[in-house]
Amino acid sequence: MCRYDSLTLYDGSSADARPMGTYCTASPDTLTSSGPSLFVVFKSDSDVSERGFSLRWNFVRQDSRGRQRHAK
């Protein structure tokens, strides 16, 4: 449980999907969802102001052989 702000990622289109993790400060370099959706929940309080969170994403396609191809 995070003391202040948190970011929770779910592998699907709602909070009913499988949680991928909750992050208070540091987060992993890379997460990959199992499908086309990723649900994000950001919780904040008014006690402490810090730098916050940053999220970048890439869209990845698979070819007919299942190999990943990064979309342009």
Q: What is the pLDDT of residues 19-58, one digit of tens each?
A: 999 988 777 778 888 888 899 999 888 777 777 777 787 7
Name every residue whose Cβ is closer than 8 Å to that of residue 26 and which is 6 or more positions away in sequence.
Answer: none
Secondary structure letter of residue 22 according to DSSP: E
Would you place residue 69 in the very low, low, confident or very high pLDDT band (cuts 50, 70, 90)? low
What is the distance of C-alpha 64 from the center of its chain? 27
Between CA 34 and CA 11 the distance in angstroms is 7
pLDDT, mean of residues 1-14: 89
Q: What is the pLDDT of residue 70?
A: 53
Cα torsion 20, 21, 23, 27: sign: negative
The pTM of this model reads 0.73
Cβ count within 10 A of residue 4: 14
Tokens of 69: 């191809």
Residue bearing the bigger pLDDT, 3 or 20: 20
